[in-house]
Amino acid sequence: MGGFLAEIVRTELATPDPDLVQPEMYNQMFTMHGTIMLFLWIIPAGAAFANYLIPLMIGAEDMAFPRLNAVAFWMIPVGGVLLISSFFVGAPQAGWTSYPPLSLMSGKWGEEIWIMSLLILGTSSILGALNFAITILKMRIPEMDLNSMPLFCWSMLATSALVLIGTPVLAAALILLSFDLIAGTSFFNPVGGGDPIVYQHMFWFYSHPAVYIMVLPFFGVISEVLPVHARKPIFGYRAIAYSSLAIAFLGLIVWAHHMFTSGTPGWLRMFFMATTMLIAVPTGIKIFSWCATIWGGKIELNSAMLFGIGFISSFLIGGLSGVMVAAVPFDIHVHDTYFIVAHFHYVLFGGSVFALFAGLYHWFSKMTGRMLNETWGRIHFALTFIGFNMTFLPMHQLGLLGMNRRIALYDPQFQSLNIVCTIGSYILAVSTLPLVINVLWSLIKGKKAGRNPWRALTLEWQTTSPPAIENFESEPVLWAGPYEYGIDSENEDEEDVEDMLAEVSAQS
Amino acid sequence: MQSSTVEDPKLALNYHKEVEPEGHHGEHPDHRMLGVIVFLVAESMIFLGLFGAFLIYRSMMPVWPPEGTPELELLVPGINSIILISSSFVMHKGQSAIQKNDVPGLQLWFAITAAMGAIFLLGQLYEYSHAEFGLTLNVFTSCFYVLTGFHGLHVTLGLLLILAVLWRSRQPEHYSETSHFGVEAAELYWHFVDVVWIILFVLVYLL
Amino acid sequence: MKIPSNILTLIAGIALTMICLWYGQNHGLMPIAASAEARTVDEIFNFMMTIATGLFLLIEGVLIISIFKFRRRKGDLTDGPSIEGNIPLEIVWTAIPAVIVFILAIYSFEVYNKMGGLDPMASHDMGTQIAHHHHNDNLVALDLEGQEVALGLGASPGNKDEESLVVDVNGLQYAWLFTYPDTGVVSGELHVPVNRQVTLNISAADVIHAFWVPQLRLKQDAVPGREAQLTFVPDRVGEYPIICAELCGAYHGAMKTTLFVETEAEYNQWVQDNTFAQESFLDEAVARQ
C-alpha cells in the first residue's frame, strides 16, 4: 500500500508539471506514504521480528505478558484501517510531520483521523516495548547473562527504552494538536498566541529517536545474520552491544537538528550539531565491526548474506550523508531538499528494509519449516539493490542542485535525473514480485528445513522448525555463546554442532 | 567477549545434562509489577511532554499568564490537593492491611480512598463550572484545562481501579497477604497520579 | 613477479587518498556559489566529501574483497577463525571517527561563525511576538523599533559595521512579498545590488514557509509569529531562484520567485521604475502567483 503510493508519487515526478494527480492529492499521497511506511511497515516489522525471536533467543516460552502482546498486535490493524480510511474524508496533506499551522488549515477530519491512528499505533508500540524490555531482562534462561545474549536482544533493549521515553511525548504533542484542531485552542497557532516551534520540538523529540527505533532492531538482525553465514564470531560483541545503548542515549538528545533552519538559536544549533555528530562514533564502531566480522570468514553467499552485505553498503551511504547534514552550515543549504530525502531513504530503506529481507531469508526456515528458494532470492536481491540505488542515489545530486522536497511541480532542469529515479522505483516495484513468488512457492513446495539449516548457535535453532507451542519441547540448553564459531575448527566443528543437536533432540 | 564462555562448548553441555529440565510448563515468575512500573515511566513521559510545553510557553511569553487572564482561585483547589495527597496515605493503610491478610481493613481504607478521589473530581468539576475563562481564551487557559483535564482523566482511571479492587475483594480469598498484585498496582498508580498533581499544582497554580 | 602485500596495501592507500582528494574537489554536485559565504560552505562540503569518499571506498572495498576472497569453498563445512575482537583495533576505529567528528565540528563552528550565525543580534531567540499588530496594507508583522530580534544568520563578523540594505520578506500561500522600507517599493521579486550587504527580515503570514536560495546556500524558515533574519553579501551578478523549502500547502512546489543580483546602476534603475507603480505592482504580484 505504502509502496503503491510511492510509485504514484514517483510517476508524478517523472515530468516537471503536475499532470498525473492534482497537487492536493499529491500531498495526501506522500503524507500517507511516509506514515504508512514508518508506522505500519518498518516499526511493526521490527516488532514482529522481536516478538518472534526474543523468546526463542533467550529460551523463554513466550513473552512476559502474552495477553498484552495480543492487545498491542491487534491495535496495529485497527490503527492501519483507520489511517487508510482517512482517504474517504480527504487524507491529511501536511506531510508525516504535520507541522502546524499548515496541518490546522488543510483537511480537518483527515488530520484528526491521522492523529487518532497514530495515537493507537503509538500505544501499541509502547505496550510492545514494555513487553520486550521485561522479557529480555527477566525471562532469559538462567545460564544466560546479559553479556551472552544475542545482539538482537541488546538492540531491542535499546529500542524499547527509546519507545518508552519518546513515544509518550509524541502522544502529548498529538493531543495538543488535536485540541487545536477540534476545540479551537491555540497551542501551536500563532494567531491565538501559540507557537508552532513548540510542536516541532515535541514532535522531533519522538521522531528523531523514531529513526533509531526503526533502525536499531535491524542492526540487531544484521548482527545475527552476518556471523552465521560468514562462519565467524561477531567481531567485538561488547562494542556492538554497548554502541546500541550509546546510540539510543544520544538519539534522545539530538532532535533539534531537524530544526536548524527553523526556530533554533545559534548556540543551540551548535550543541545539537555536536551531539548529532557524536552518533557517528557508535555507528562507525558497528559498521567497522561488521566488516571485521566478514573479513577472513568463510562466506556462504546466499540471499540472507547478500542482503546483509547490501545493508552495510547502503547504510554506509546513509551514515556518511548523515554526518554531512549534521554540519550546520551545510544543513542550512540542504535542509528540506532531496538530499535529505536521499539520506533518510538510505538509512531506512537501505538500512531497515535490506536488513528486514536479510532477516526474512535467514529465519524463514525457522518460521515455516521450509527453505526459501535461493535463485529467486538472488534475483530479488539484484533487482532490489539496483532499483534502490538507481532511485535514491541521484536524489543526492538533485537536492544539492536545488530541488526541494514535497513538491509536485519542479524546475524542468531536473527532469532527466528525476526520470532515472522514477525508472529505479519501477525496478524496485518489480523486485517485490520474486519475493512474493518465492514466499508463496516455498510455503507449499519449499525444501524442508531441519532444526538448524544454517548450523547457527543461537538458541532459536534448537527447537523444531516451525517452533512448537510454547517454543521449546524441553528446556533449551545454552551450549555455547551466541557467536562461538570456529572454536575448534580443526576437530571438525561441524560434527560437534550436529552431535549437540542430536543430543538436544534426544533429550526432548 | 567474555572469556568464560570461550571454553569448550561441550563443557557447558555436559554441565547441563546433570541438571535435568524440570517441569517448565508451569507458572513463570510474576513480572507484572515491573510491567506497571515501566508503564508508569512511559506515562510520566506524556506528562513530562505536556509540562515541557507549558514551561516553554511560560518562558516565551513576556507576561505570564497572558494579559486578560482572570486570577485563579486557590481555595477550592488547595483543599482539593490536600484531600488528594492525604488519600495516598489512607490508601497505603489499605495495602498494609492486606499484607496482614486483613480483607475488611483493605475494603475500609480503599473505600475511603475512593470517596476522597471522588470528592477531588467533584471539586475539579466545581472549579471548571465556576472558572471565569474558557478553553480557548489564550494559551494559558488552554494549558490549564488540558493539563488538569488530562490529570483528571487519570484520577478517574485510578478511581475505577480502586473500585475494581473493592469489587473483587468481595470474593473471599481473592486477595491475600501473598497475592495482591491488583492492590499494589492500584496503589502505585494512585501515588503516581498524586505526584503528578503536586507538580501540576505547583506549576499551574502557584508559579 | 611477486609484490609483498604490505606494499600493495600502501599503494592501495595512496591511490585511495588521491581518488578521494580529487573527487572531493571535483564532484560537481553543487550549484554556482554567489557569495563568499556560499564558497565557505562549499569548502566544508568538499572537505566532508573527501572524507566520505575515502570511508566509502574503504568499506565498500573491504566488503567486495571479502565477498571474493573469503567465499566458502564448495564442500568446506568448517568455520572461519574464531576471532572475537581485537581491542587495540577497536580503539583505533573508535578514535578515528571521534577525531574526524571533532575536526568537523570545529570546522563547522568556524564556518558558521563566519557566516554570522553566532551574531548575538541574529542568533538570540526572543520568543514569539504575539501577532497583534496586523497592518492592513500588508501582512508583515513588523516591530522594528522595540525589539531587534530574529533567528537565522546575522552579518559576518567582518562586515558588522557596514550598513545593509534592509528588505522585509513575507511568505504567504503561495508567494513571496518583498518590501523595501527605505524606498517603499513592494515587489514579488527580490532585486539587490551586487557587493552590498543585504539583510532580510523574514516573516510568514499564514503557515510555515522557508526562504531558500540554493546559490547562496542560505535557508531560513519563515515561521508565523516569529521573525527571522538573513544577512548576506552577493558578489556575483545573475538571476537565482528563490524557493519555498517548507511544505506549505498544495501549491508548495509553485511557490518560487527570482533573486536578481544586479549592478548598482541597474538596481537603482529598478528602484526608480518601481517607486511610482508600487500599488499596481502589488496587485500584479499577487495575481500572478
For every residue of C111-135, DSSP letters joined together read HHHHTTTT-HHHH-------TT---
Give the model confidence (pLDDT) of C212-255 as tens digits. 888 888 888 888 877 888 888 888 888 898 888 888 877 788 88
- Kindly compute the dihedral angle of the four CA atoms of residues A327, A333, A334, A335, in this order, to the nearest 10 degrees: 80
Higher pLDDT, C28 or A106: C28
Considering only CB atoms, A65 lies closest to which of B35, B138, B146, namely: B35
Instruction: Please say if the pLDDT value at position C106 is more than 70.
Output: yes
Residues A236, C90: C-beta atoms closer than 8 Å: yes
Q: What is the count of residue pairs from B and C with beta carbons less than 8 Å apart?
A: 10
Q: Is-contact A49 A221, C-beta < 8 A?
A: yes
C85 touches chain B (CB under 8 A): yes
Give the model confidence (pLDDT) of C188-205 as tens digits. 889 999 888 888 888 888
Between A88-92, C91-95, C175-179, the lowest mean confidence (pLDDT) is in: A88-92
Strand C198-204 to C165-172 pairing: parallel
Q: Which residues of C touch B66 (CB under 8 A)?
A: 130
Q: For domain A2-507, give the CATH superfamily.
A: Cytochrome c oxidase-like, subunit I domain (1.20.210.10)
Three-state SS at A402: coil
Strand C228-232 to C151-153 pairing: parallel
C81 touches chain B (CB under 8 A): no
Higher pLDDT, A453 or C153: A453
Q: Which residues pair with C228 in a beta bridge?
A: C151, C202
Interface mutation target, options C106, C219, C220, chain A, most CBs of A under 10 Å: C219
Cβ neighbours, 10 Å, residue C22: 12
Residue A64 to chain B, least CA–CA distance (Å): 7
A101 touches chain C (CB under 8 A): yes
Residue C272 to chain B, least CA–CA distance (Å): 42
Average of pLDDT values for C27-36? 82
Considering only CB atoms, B50 lies closest to which of A60, A172, A478, namely: A172
At residue A211, the pLDDT reads: 83
Give chain A's residues under pLDDT 50.
Answer: 14-15, 17-19, 488-495, 507-508
Q: Which residues of B touch A173 (CB under 8 A)?
A: 49, 53
Instruction: Please say if the pLDDT value at position C135 is more than 70.
Output: no
Q: Which residues contact A188 (CB under 8 A, 6 or more apart)?
A: A100, A101, A104, A176, A177, A180, A194, A195, A196, A198, A199
Query: Which of these, B146, B114, C95, lies nearest to A172 by C-alpha position?
Result: B146
Crossing angle for the helix pair A303-326 and A266-278, to the nearest 10 degrees: 150
Instruction: Please say if the pLDDT value at position B148 is more than 70.
Output: yes
Instruction: Please say if the pLDDT value at position C161 is more than 80.
Output: no
Q: Which residues of B touch C127 (CB under 8 A)?
A: 59-62
By residue count, chain B amounts to 207
Cβ neighbours, 10 Å, residue B203: 15
- Work out the percent of chain B whose per-residue pLDDT is above 90: 10
Using CA atoms, how far apart are residues B44 and B193, in angstroms rounded to an integer? 9
E-state strands within A61-216: none
Q: What b-and-e string marks burial along A169-190, b requiring 16 or more CB atoms within 10 Å of the CB?
A: bbbbbbbbbbbbbeeebbbbbb
Instruction: Please say if the pLDDT value at position C150 is more than 60.
Output: no
Residue A442 to chain C, least CA–CA distance (Å): 24
| Architecture field, domain B4-206 | Up-down Bundle (1.20)
At residue A209, the pLDDT reads: 85
Find, in chain B, the residue whose alpha carbon is nearest to that of C129. B61
Using CA atoms, how far apart are residues A43 and A362, in angstroms rounded to an integer? 19
Q: Which residues of B touch A186 (CB under 8 A)?
A: 136, 138-139, 142
B18 touches chain A (CB under 8 A): no
Interface mutation target, options C130, C132, C223, chain B, most CBs of B under 10 Å: C130
Residues C127, B60: C-beta atoms closer than 8 Å: yes
Residue C125 to chain B, least CA–CA distance (Å): 9
Average of pLDDT values for B88-105? 85
At residue B118, the pLDDT reads: 92
Average of pLDDT values for B43-65? 82
Find, in chain B, the residue whose alpha carbon is nearest to that of C126. B60
Structural domain boundaries in chain B: 4-206
Find, in chain B, the residue whose alpha carbon is nearest to that of C83. B1
In A425-444, the residues whose Cβ lies within 8 Å of chain C are none
Using CA atoms, how far apart are residues A237 and C12, in angstroms rounded to an integer? 30
A168 touches chain B (CB under 8 A): yes
At residue C285, the pLDDT reads: 58
Provide the residue type at B65 as one letter: P
At residue A84, the pLDDT reads: 77
At residue C280, the pLDDT reads: 57
Using CA atoms, how far apart are residues A104 and A102, in angstroms rounded to an integer? 5
Query: Would you state the cell numbers that stand for residue C222, as one nine-digit string?
Result: 519563515
What interface predicted TM-score (ipTM) does this complex get?
0.79
The CATH class that applies to domain C120-288 reads: mainly beta
Q: Which residues pair with C172 in a beta bridge?
A: C175
E-state strands within chain C: 151-153, 165-172, 175-180, 185-187, 190-193, 198-204, 209-213, 218-222, 228-232, 238-244, 256-262
Residue B109 to chain A, least CA–CA distance (Å): 30
Give the model confidence (pLDDT) of A430-475 as tens digits. 888 888 888 888 888 777 777 778 877 777 777 777 776 666 666 6
Find, in chain B, the residue whose alpha carbon is nearest to that of A233. B1
Q: Which residues pair with C243 in a beta bridge?
A: C212, C256
Structural domain boundaries in chain C: 5-69+88-114, 120-288
Q: Is-contact A458 A224, C-beta < 8 A?
A: yes
Torsional sign, CA A168, A172, A173, A178: positive
A484 touches chain B (CB under 8 A): yes
Provide the residue type at A85 as one letter: S
Find, in chain B, the residue whose alpha carbon is nearest to that of C226. B60
Residue C276 to chain A, least CA–CA distance (Å): 33
Between A358-367, B22-31, B138-147, the lowest mean confidence (pLDDT) is in: B22-31
Q: Which residues contact A307 (CB under 8 A, 6 or more apart)?
A: A225, A354, A355, A357, A358, A361, A381, A384
C contact chains, 3+ CB pairs < 8 A: A, B
Q: What is the pTM of this model?
A: 0.81
Peptide bond into C234 cis (omega under 30): no
Instruction: Please say if the pLDDT value at position C130 is more than 50.
Output: no
DSSP state of A188: S
Three-state SS at C68: helix
In C42-81, the residues whose Cβ lies within 8 Å of chain A are 44-45, 48-49, 52, 55-56, 59-60, 62-63, 66-67, 70-73, 76-81
At residue B101, the pLDDT reads: 81
Q: Which residues of C touch B8 (CB under 8 A)?
A: none
Instruction: Please say if the pLDDT value at position B9 is more than 60.
Output: no
Average of pLDDT values for C84-106? 86
Q: Which residues of B touch C124 (CB under 8 A)?
A: none
At residue C129, the pLDDT reads: 40
Find, in chain B, the residue whose alpha carbon is nearest to that of A138. B31
Q: Is-contact A330 C45, C-beta < 8 A?
A: yes
